Amino acid sequence: MIYVFTGNGKGKTTAAIGTGIRAVGAGWKVLMVKFMKEKGVSSEDSLLEHLENFDLYAFGRKGFYLPKEKLEENPELKKYFKPFEEIDYKRAKEGFKFALKNVKNYNLIILDEICVAMDLGLLDVQTVCKNLKKVADESNFILTGRNCHREIIELADLVTEMKEIKHPFEKGITAQKGLDF
């Protein structure tokens, strides 16, 4: 099965982790590959690292990054984001290759924020689709991230869209450790 958790609302990664924990409870082995995130920033990482049969790898780097073009279009974003560098493209490709290489070793592979990586051009959508089709019978996959491409949605067996209705950021409240990361 291929599941997608997408949308502009909160909870995509949390839903994927919850499904991963359920899978471990059923005796499955789970691999979580993080794109665009470094390991150890989110509070759940400290728990997941100790969970038997749940392996976590991150292929992002510290901080928040966007394509140079997006930063030039909206200079206000430069307060929060740095421009992509060649290493970001390289790490995204390495993360996807790593996941594909390990398909036979896991019952469930979570590709966290891969939809964002594709949307921002770190990974090619057609390449991801083509490779997922090749290995879809060998494992189960969860893809997370906003702005999921239509090709991925069509390929998926289940798609859930998280929709933001209200967010504390609108009131100037920043992300809270334990709730948001």
Encoded tokens for 28:
């499955």
pLDDT, position 181: 79
Structure tokens at 25: 């409870």
pLDDT at 72: 94
- pLDDT for 96: 98
**Residue 180's pLDDT is what?**
79
Identify the pLDDT of residue 178: 80
According to the model, what pLDDT value does residue 175 have?
Answer: 82
Q: Give the phi and the psi of residue 57 in degrees, each rounded to 5.
A: -135, 145
> Can you give the pLDDT at residue 168?
79
Structural contact between residues 86 and 61, judged by C-beta atoms closer than 8 angstroms = no
CB 146 within 8 A of CB 116: yes
Indicate left, alpha or beta for 121 from its phi (over 0: left) and psi (-120 to 50: alpha). Answer: left
**Chain segment 157-171, per-residue pLDDT in tens:** 999 999 998 987 788
How far apart are the C-alpha atoms of 121 and 117, rounded to whole Å? Answer: 6
Q: How far apart are CA 100 and CA 154, in angstroms?
A: 20
Q: Which residues of the chain have pLDDT under 70?
A: none
Spatial separation of the C-alpha atoms in residues 72 and 161, rounded to whole Å: 29
For 72, 84, 103, 120, the CA distances from 78, given in Å and listed in that order, are 9, 12, 38, 16
Name all domains of the chain by residue range, CATH numbers in brackets.
2-162 (3.40.50.300)
Locate the DSSP E strands across the chain.
Answer: 2-6, 30-34, 54-58, 65-66, 82-83, 108-112, 140-144, 158-161
